[in-house]
Amino acid sequence: MSWDYIVTLFVPLIQGAGMTLAVFAVTFILSLPLGFCVTLQLNSRHSFTHWFAETYVYILRGTPLLLQILFVYFGLPLIPGIGPYLTFSRFTAACVAFVLNYAAYFGEIFRGGLLAIDPGQYEASKVLGLTRFETMTKVVIPQMIRVCLPSISNETITLLKDTALVTVIGVAEILHYAKTEVNRDGTPFPFVLAAILYLIINFVITFIFKKLEKKYEQ
């Protein structure tokens, strides 16, 4: 196997990595705040919003992500009436499914983090005159992030690997190109290259989270 051949296999994979990272980044950036909203609704005293959030988490954690991707891309456009408005491009459909799914997981992680906050922190904030919003942003969330970071790190690594699922609706990411090459050349070697690419990206993600955990450690 010549180096030139390996390079010709690798170039499309790099191109696919761009798409992988795009799905990853959109999901990561949108599902964290959405997940926090889910947490707030889970803790809500209004029974309807609480019920809604619980059902949301139950459905999105209880069904396969692969199925959710297929449903968003193929299923939503078929809903009578609103279907035409829910017809997405492959990339958008992939992102919608991922953001909804990961918000449910992050929501559960944050819920655990909120439970870890001592009630005394809210009391101290109140007697010092902090508003609810200030209590959340200055006192609660920074402590919650610290508690949640290891779980978020874990989930983020899973997220990167899960992006491979979007190949099922034809989004041209790493695995999509690797499969094409395997079929074309009759060798499984492109899968090895794909694995190496995932490992490299996850190495960077792990490194960043280790740094963050250090920073929040004190």
> Which residues of the chain form contacts with other proteins (CB under 8 A)?
118, 120-121, 123-124, 126-130, 134, 138-139, 142-143, 146, 216, 218
Backbone angles phi, psi at 192, to 5 degrees: -65, -45
**How near is the Cβ of 130 to other proteins at its closest, in Å?**
6
Compute CA 38 distance to the chain's CA centroid, rounded to the nearest angstrom: 14
CB of 216 to other proteins, least distance (A): 8
Which residue lies nearer to other proteins by CB, 125 or 163? 125
Q: In 3-state terms, what secondary structure has residue 171?
A: coil
- Start-to-end C-alpha separation, the chain: 51
**Nearer of residues 127 and 199 to other proteins, judged by Cβ:** 127
Nearer to other proteins, 123 or 185 (CB): 123
DSSP 128: T
Minimum Å gap between C-beta 215 and other proteins is: 11
Nearer to other proteins, 114 or 166 (CB): 114
Structure tokens belonging to residue 207: 């490194």
Give the CA distances from residue 26 to residues 21, 31, 159, in Å, rounded to whole numbers and listed in that order. 8, 8, 11
Rounded CA separation 99/20 (Å):
14
CB 40, min distance to other proteins, A = 20
